[in-house]
Amino acid sequence: MFELNEEQRIIQKSVHEFAKKELAPKASFWDSREEFPWELVKKMAEIGLTGLRLPKDYGGVETDLITTGIALEEVARYDHNCAIILCGSNITGRVLLYGSEKLKWKYLPDIAKGRCILAFAAMESEAGSDIRAIKTKAKRVKDKYLVNGEKSMITFAEIAQGYIVLVKTDEKRREGISCILIEANRQGIDIQQLKGFGWRATRWGNIAFSDVRVPAENLIGEKNNALSMLTPTVQEQRALTGLIALGTARQALEEALDYARNRRVFGKPLGKFEGIQFKLVEDFTSLEAARLTCFQALHLIEKNAVEASTWAAMANLIGGEIAYKVVNDAMDVYGGLGYSRELPLERYLRDIKAVQIASATLKMEIGQGILGKEFLPYA
Ligand SMILES: Cc1cc2nc3c(=O)[nH]c(=O)nc-3n(C[C@H](O)[C@H](O)[C@H](O)COP(=O)(O)OP(=O)(O)OC[C@H]3O[C@@H](n4cnc5c(N)ncnc54)[C@H](O)[C@@H]3O)c2cc1C
């Protein structure tokens, strides 16, 4: 049975207190300004949150995946965008571990200190779920790669110091994809800002690369092997994002419970009516079940288990779906007040929708995991 150990409980409590004190008061501000909260990133770095998954040698904390999940869940209760920033930072940092020592030393210590954010750019306007269909090309010319193409809907596009980009290095094969780091200040890069429904503090955007010259040593990992190289990192990201959605939903549920205890209608507290009670009890139960799915996924990923891929996809899927329902129900409990911008519920719902959109595509991956690739046409 899954249970947190003593050390994990202490970390959970301290991150909870930190997020409540330092992040919660500013979450709405950065969301409404639609600006990247560097101020909060600096504070998170001070207690090691920006380097949770990075090796100690490069200034990280080198913690396990379950503890990372616990920390991100607590941050997400008080600031969903900050949790997404931490998740992104830890993920791009992990991908860099496949790169050269030079690249690692250039970026990892700064990522751990909260001074650097890298974006992960896979998607293109004509290749989202079908990632093997990307067209951005990197052509080797002597000691450089010449990169041409575009990337769409990239989180942190506008503020990142560099992009970890998926590029085609063998156009004849769908799997001929490599990973390359492109510094944001190189010639030939154009960023177009995008405005999203949620994740408003993450500075989302499209990136165009036109004859961008990148040193060959910026290639991360083996040429034409990016998809299998990235598998564990993508799994981590999926399970953690599911947990982030649930962290935000847990906060909404606790606020709704509190309101139901105190709001009086027809001479009684709202929570005395079964219609409200049953809704909240069902949400509490589904939320706990979904959290366990996410933690089980993290456990399997850490063990490099064969089921990890399916569980990571399930964690992301259930995380987004249950979290959305829980926040939506919390809004109903609050009535008109829940709909108003006086409360953060509308922000929670907007942010969770972003997780849900990414999750929708995962159903086919879960199908592959359960039924096997031979039954499905996508691979
Ligand atoms: C807020 C946000 C942040 C993002 N940040 C990043 C980022 O940092 N880096 C990055 O690379 N990308 C990012 N993305 C892009 C994201 O990865 C894609 O949106 C996602 O992979 C889906 O791709 P798509 O939008 O092209 O949808 P499509 O692939 O065109 O799919 C459209 C719809 O069809 C469904 N669908 C697709 N294939 C199938 C199928 N075989 N069977 C049934 N239904 C199917 C999908 O579930 C979806 O509902 C971000 C997206 C959002 C919304």
Q: What confidence tens digit (pLDDT) does each residue in 44-69 have?
A: 999 999 999 999 999 999 999 999 99
Residues in the chain: 379
pLDDT of residue 150: 98
Q: Where in the chain is the domain with CATH 1.20.140.10?
A: 226-375
Superfamily of domain 226-375: Butyryl-CoA Dehydrogenase, subunit A, domain 3 (1.20.140.10)
Contact 117, 159 (CB under 8 A): yes
List the residue whose alpha carbon is closest to atom 14 of ligand 1.
153
Superfamily of domain 6-116: Acyl-CoA dehydrogenase/oxidase, N-terminal domain (1.10.540.10)
pLDDT of residue 374: 57
- pLDDT (mean) for 211-235: 96
Give distance in angstroms: CA of 370 to centre of ligand 1: 21
The atom of ligand 1 lying closest to the CA of 151 is 11
Question: Could you tell me the fold of the domain covering 119-220?
Answer: Butyryl-CoA Dehydrogenase, subunit A; domain 2 (2.40.110)
The single-letter DSSP state of residue 350 is H
Crossing angle of helices 80-96 and 24-33, in 10° steps, is 80
Q: With a 6 A CB cut-off, is 93 part of the ligand 1 pocket?
A: no
Q: Percent of the chain at pLDDT above 70?
A: 94
Q: At 90, is the pLDDT very low, low, confident or very high (cuts 50, 70, 90)?
A: confident
- Confirm or reject: Cβ of 348 under 6 Å from ligand 1: no
Q: State the span(s) of the chain assigned CATH 1.10.540.10.
A: 6-116
Determine if ligand 1 sits within 6 Å of the CB of residue 153.
yes
At residue 359 the predicted structure's pLDDT band, cuts being 50, 70 and 90, is low
pLDDT digits (tens, 9 = 90+) for 301-317: 999 999 999 999 999 99
CA distance to 14, 84, 163, 274, 344, per residue, from 203 (Å)? 29, 12, 14, 43, 20
Burial pattern 287-300, b for ≥16 Cβ within 10 A else e, equals beebbebbbbbbbb
Whether 2 lines ligand 1, by a CB cut-off of 6 Å, is no
